Amino acid sequence: MHTIEEARSGIILPVAELLRVPRPGGFHFVWQSARAFLYRTVGEQRGSRGRLRGRSLYLAPVLLAVGVLTIVPPGAVAQDNSFRGRVWSDDGIPVEGAAVRLFPVSDTAQVNITGTDRLGFFTFPSIATGAYILSIARIGYVPYREQIRVPVGARTATEVTLLSQAVELEGFLVEAQRSRARARFEESAGMTVQELDRKALRAVPGLIEVDPIRAVEVLPGVTTVSDFSAAFNVRGGSADQNLILLDDVPVFSPFHLGGFFSVFNADMVERAELRSGGFPAEYGGRVSSVLVVESDAGDGKIGADAGVSLLASRLAVKGSLPGRVAEGLGLASARWRVSGRRSYVDVIADAVPYNLTDFQAVFEGWTRGGNRLKVSAYTGRDVVDFTDAEGGSIPLQFRWDWGNDAVGGSWTSPMTGGGALDLQASFSRFHSDFGFANFAETDFSTKIEQATFRADLERRPTPRVRWTSGLVANRLGYDNRFQVGGTVFGEGDGRGWETAAYTQLHWDASVRWLVEGGLRLDHWRPAAAGSQTTVSPRFAIKRFVRDRRSALRLAGGRYSQFVQSRRDEELPFGLDVWVLAGPRAPRLLSDQVQVGAESFFGAEEEWFASAEGYFRTFDGVIGENAVEEPGDPLDDLVAGTGQAYGVDLFLKRDLGTTTGWISASFLKTDRTFPDTRSGLDPVPLATYPPVFDRRFEVDLVVQRQMGWWGLDGGLRFNFGTGLPYTRPLGAFDFYRRRNGVLQREAEPAVVLGPRNGARYPSRHRLDISFRKPMEKKWGRLTPYASIINVYNKKNVLFYFFEYDRTPPVRTGVSMIPFLPTVGVEISFQ
Amino acid sequence: MTPVPPSVAVRVTVFVTAVLAVSGCELTEVSTARAEDVIVAESQVTVFLSADETSSAWVTASTLLHRTYGENVRAVGGSLVQVSGASGRTLRLVEAPLEHCLHQVDSLGGFPAEGSCYLASASGASFAPGEKLSLEINVPDGRVLTAVSRIPGTFSFRDLNQVGGRCRLEPNTNFRFRWTPAEDAWTYFAEANLGGLREALAGRDIDVPDSLYLVGLSLGREDTEIVFPRDFGLFNFLEEDFPRDLLFTLQDEGLPEGAGAVVSLAAADRNRTNWERGGNFNPSGEVRIPSVFGDGTGVFGTAVQRRISVTAGPGEEGELPLCGTAES
């Protein structure tokens, strides 16, 4: 809390004093709040009230609307100075993710905290004049502490070099994550971000292995349809509306084993961030969420991480380029990490000829001037090969393989005064091929690929303003075939250019206000048909309260998507079949608005809570056309609309021996499509809840350092209300016409009730895990054990109704049962 | 004591885990469900055309009426079933023994099929290709089911030499049948009844039945080609006891000398196509796209069909003409 004396440095004291007196009459209070804001804004400008007044008044109408919903607390003060800096390591590269604290010498409890960005920059845009202690900490470095003085009206800058430290302290991991969370809170007005760092990823009980995508399930706003699939839905969007990035390279369908778990090797992952709404203008391509998975190139020291689970073994090796080689490349530092993984189900059980293999690599190099070169690559394959099956064991000999390839490189160059220029090029593809050994003309294949070129420029003309703009060009192509014996059951291919330009302004309007506005132009030019342009405005406003420990925020915008998956999400397993906007599929547009509040609290700000409500519309979602005319290659899909609204609540504790979070999500979503299953002509419209319409869900995640045996424990409890399904009302003999007469089929046909008109029962599940890190001379050995579904709750995957039995029965097939797994992780240093 | 090798330990662990996983996913929560009584109509009108355009055409109509499971009596006898054409002609179907509509009534695990069969046949003058038809079914309990369909247009074989609906293939070759597009056809169902295979393939180390029934498919009005026998059989492949080795032999080598087949080609309408291919997945059974509405569900399909008989044999004077150039 600031003092009255501090407040007197501005001209707002009368307003602040005024607001301390409760006043009857809402309108009068609101009006005074709005006036208070205007006065405060003027008061913050350094002695040039007349010149800056106009700018404040220009924004007044927008901010006035927000002021209606906010309360200006007493003691509001202006802070007039900025302090920024850059943190380097002793080997000359910028340090990302360092926790930077700044607190007055006279009051060490009043801590300002932020984190360094990927180029080592940090900024405190608004601090009061005075003497401060600057403290910087980062895992692997000796903590730094220095006293500085911030004079009146100054833009103070500093550069700090951290010394490497051999001993790594676990607590610094927490600090780094906390500093990033705090920095996001301070610097981002609208985007909803949840981060899972390496520690959190390992603490969430995993299904056989630590899985960065499965761990996302425990975050607010995230719904999964089945335990058997790692695909997820965010805030009423379908799974293909999630953009999944590995080091900024898009990865299509990043799943092994039909979606059972993700392709990402946890040993390579530094952290995963789910961005679930309020995206600024730099984001495009998907409308529901962005999942960022960042690789860890390591610290440059030679080392290896290995893991053995019931499914696969993996190995990751890290190191750095020899100094002479690095210098030859013009780099001050060059680190790398590579990993490989392979399953062994096919080795253990001959009857299951399935294997997965993946390789991942990341390279990060820094020049003396602080430029960064980063290259990432991934390749993975899943293969089910029954071509050598002995006759009679299976009716068909087939081979099915699918997988991803992705590679990308980026060059990041810091700008004078902060900001950076980013240049990026990447290529990503996903393919699946299925073929029968005895039918050479069989072709069940799907392929999607994307080449990306982008340039992003971030400038910081003043400490309070960050301006970002960029150009993006994506070359997309897909090719789907489904043909047997000369008969084409389905096919489609297409190419197109998606180009985009955006600009985004971020303005720390005052100590209380953060304003973001942006505009994005997306132009889609398919090779086959006409072009489409989407104008997508973005806005976000954040209002800080409680000395910037709490905030209210409002964000909205329009988002577009030009690639969608045809996968039937009503199936518990399946692969994506991608299709581009064009003659077959529409462009998907989504308008979104969200409003929320968030707050840090507790003596050390160890608690964080947020509440956010949202509303989204979807125009151009796709569904299968059940009555498509076989001769028409362009009517396979029908276009629909949808909407979603809900509230996400989140409470997190990230300090102490017991940490974790609880999230609660309320959701209601629906889709409206032509009801092609009705058989009616013309086709009527039908509105129904999609299969991921889980109305209420709670996730509790607890991590605890046990007092006994040095164990780290993890717990996850999930409760969710039932998902919708289509109930059959009856069944009847089904016949096919053969030689002019009817021949009864073995499987009956069903008469369906309203689409998704029934619901499964609520589900709940408790998972626990234990890890036992053991320090060795050569590194660390960590055996672990997980139990999925501790009390063996038989959550329903689906029902099937057998009306041909007397009496008829309804039978439920359950999801993952009580499932203990064990494994071991080994880290060589 | 011999130590357990690590690989054995891993195998045991995997096995135990797999058993737990599978056992935990066992069927659960059995309870009684109530079925709704829905009448199902499977109705078809087919216009048969001769292969050589010389013989007169004829029309058959059939309707199988049955009910959803759960009713004591699934037959729907005593119903009035009639098909009316846009030309004003009406064909009333007569109730007939169930066997006349069904193939193998008592198959499939012993429980018999139930239903009521209604049939009619008439000269080709009754309904013509391209004509719009209406189906009306009046059930004794008062329920009424209705449907409409347009018979696909006529079509003819192209590049086919034949006499009286018969022609000859060079032994061990495939032949590409071509035909003209039929208006409003959504699918061409091709059926082949093969005979003489056992003698023709005597001495081969494969299981050869007396006769073989194969299905082929062409999708869309413009998909007017199919190779015999190479493109046939994919939809029979998963049938129980189907002679797969024989099919591979036929697809690889063509029709052997001495064997013959009756190949029929039916241009089918939208309704039958939608019903046959079905809708989305449902774990309880097949989902069909109906074309019969009102107090029930079902299909009212129409088709135009031609047949040709082919024999594989060497060319001799006075024998059947060669159907055409063999497919390479």
Give per-residue pLDDT as tens, A470-490: 999 999 999 998 887 667 777
Q: Which two tokens stand for residue A546?
A: 């409680």
Contact A305, A287 (CB under 8 A): no
Q: Any CB–CB contact under 8 A between B288 and chain A?
A: yes
Whether residue A630 and residue B289 make contact (CB cut-off 8 A), yes or no, is: no
Hey, which residues 35-54 in chain B have their CB within 8 Å of chain A? 35-38, 40, 42, 44, 46
Q: Any CB–CB contact under 8 A between B17 and chain A?
A: yes
Nearest Cα of chain A lies from the Cα of B46 at a distance, in angstroms, of 9
* pLDDT, position A282: 93
Q: Which percentage of chain A shows pLDDT scores above 70?
A: 86
> Cα separations (Å) of B62 from A257, B96, B97, B118, B143?
47, 10, 12, 6, 19
Query: What pairs with residue B42 in β-bridges?
Result: B64, B299
Q: Is A425 exposed, middle or buried (0-12, 13-18, 19+ CB in 10 A)?
A: middle
The region of weakest confidence among A36-45, A102-111, A486-495 is A36-45
Residue B187, SS3 per DSSP = strand
d(CA A330, CA A391): 61
Q: Which two tokens stand for residue A125?
A: 């845009």
**pLDDT surpassing 70 at residue A53:** no
- E strand residue ranges, A706-754: 712-720, 724-725, 728-732, 735-738, 741-744, 749-752
The region of weakest confidence among A541-555, A780-794, B270-284 is B270-284
Whether residue B231 and residue A485 make contact (CB cut-off 8 A), yes or no, is: yes
Predicted confidence (pLDDT) per residue in A454-465, tens digit: 999 999 888 888
The region of weakest confidence among A165-174, A687-696, B27-36 is A165-174
The separation between the first and the last C-alpha atoms of chain B, rounded to the nearest angstrom, is 68
* pLDDT, position B12: 47
d(CA B82, CA B138): 9
User: In terms of pLDDT, which residue wins out, B139 or A213?
Assistant: B139
Report the residue from A739, A742, A798 with minimal CB separation from B283: A798
Q: Which two tokens stand for residue A76?
A: 């509001």
Cis peptide before A682 (omega within 30 of 0): yes
Hey, which residues 186-215 in chain B have their CB within 8 Å of chain A? 186-187, 191, 193, 213, 215
**pLDDT surpassing 80 at residue A352:** no
Residue pointed to by tokens 């049938």: B239
Q: Residue A645: CB partners within 8 Å, gap ≥ 6? A: A236, A613, A614, A615, A616, A667, A668, A669
d(CA A616, CA A593): 7
- Closest residue in A to B276 (Cα) is A736
- Confidence band, pLDDT 50/70/90 cuts, at residue A389: low
- Span A655-671, mean pLDDT? 93
- Closest residue in B to A208 (Cα) is B17
- Span A368-372, mean pLDDT? 86
Look over chain A and give the mean of its residue pLDDT values, rounded to a whole number: 83
Hey, which residues 149-188 in chain B have their CB within 8 Å of chain A? 186-187
* pLDDT, position A171: 52
**pLDDT surpassing 50 at residue A25:** no
- Closest residue in A to B107 (Cα) is A744
Q: Residue B72: CB partners within 8 Å, gap ≥ 6? A: none
Q: Any CB–CB contact under 8 A between B2 and chain A?
A: no
Q: Residue A545: CB partners within 8 Å, gap ≥ 6? A: A70, A71, A73, A512, A551, A552
* pLDDT, position A312: 87
Among candidate residues A618, A598, A605, the one with its CA nearest the CA of residue A554 = A598
Whether residue B102 and residue A629 make contact (CB cut-off 8 A), yes or no, is: no
Report the residue from B64, B103, B283 with minimal CB separation from A800: B283
Whether residue A808 and residue B33 make contact (CB cut-off 8 A), yes or no, is: yes
- Confidence band, pLDDT 50/70/90 cuts, at residue A393: low
| A819 contact residues in B (CB cutoff 8 A) | 17, 20-21, 24
The separation between the first and the last C-alpha atoms of chain A, rounded to the nearest angstrom, is 46
Report the residue from B25, B217, B283 with minimal CB separation from A814: B25
d(CA B181, CA B156): 8
- Confidence band, pLDDT 50/70/90 cuts, at residue A817: confident
Report the residue from B28, B102, B231 with minimal CB separation from A794: B28
Report the residue from A395, A749, A814 with minimal CB separation from B286: A749
The region of weakest confidence among A99-113, A325-339, B295-309 is A99-113
Whether residue B103 and residue A310 make contact (CB cut-off 8 A), yes or no, is: no
Q: Which two tokens stand for residue A184?
A: 């996001």
**pLDDT surpassing 50 at residue A65:** no
- Confidence band, pLDDT 50/70/90 cuts, at residue A300: confident
Query: What pairs with residue A826 in β-bridges?
Result: A306, A781
- Span A799-808, mean pLDDT? 85
- Closest residue in A to B283 (Cα) is A800
pTM of structure: 0.83
Whether residue A438 and residue B38 make contact (CB cut-off 8 A), yes or no, is: no
Nearest Cα of chain B lies from the Cα of A346 at a distance, in angstroms, of 12
Residues of chain B with pLDDT below 50 are 1-13, 15-16, 19-20, 22-23
Hey, which residues 251-290 in chain A have their CB within 8 Å of chain B? none
- Span A792-821, mean pLDDT? 87
* pLDDT, position B66: 94
**pLDDT surpassing 70 at residue A602:** yes
Predicted confidence (pLDDT) per residue in A126-156, tens digit: 788 888 889 888 877 888 888 888 877 666 7
* pLDDT, position A486: 64
Hey, which residues 532-591 in chain A have their CB within 8 Å of chain B? 568, 570-571
* pLDDT, position B52: 63
Hey, which residues 602-641 in chain A have their CB within 8 Å of chain B? 624, 626-627, 629-632
* pLDDT, position B113: 79
**pLDDT surpassing 90 at residue A157:** no
User: In terms of pLDDT, which residue wins out, B272 or A51?
Assistant: B272
| A811 contact residues in B (CB cutoff 8 A) | 27-30
Q: Are strands B116-123 and B132-138 parallel, antiparallel or unpaired?
A: unpaired
**pLDDT surpassing 70 at residue A785:** yes
**pLDDT surpassing 50 at residue A2:** no
Best probe of the A interface among B66, B250, B284, by most A CBs < 10 A, is: B284
Report the residue from B103, B108, B280 with minimal CB separation from A741: B103
Best probe of the A interface among B69, B214, B262, B291, by most A CBs < 10 A, is: B69
- Span A227-246, mean pLDDT? 92
- Closest residue in A to B247 (Cα) is A438
Whether residue A819 and residue B187 make contact (CB cut-off 8 A), yes or no, is: no
Task: Quickly count: other Cβ atoms within 10 Å of residue A149's Cβ.
Answer: 11
* pLDDT, position A394: 58
Q: Which two tokens stand for residue B207?
A: 């299981």
Q: Are strands A222-223 and B27-32 parallel, antiparallel or unpaired?
A: unpaired
* pLDDT, position B1: 35
DSSP B173: B
- The torsion region of residue A393 among left (phi > 0), alpha (psi -120 to 50) and beta comes to alpha
Q: Which two tokens stand for residue A527?
A: 């090779």
* pLDDT, position B8: 45
Report the residue from B35, B220, B281 with minimal CB separation from A730: B35
- Closest residue in B to A396 (Cα) is B238
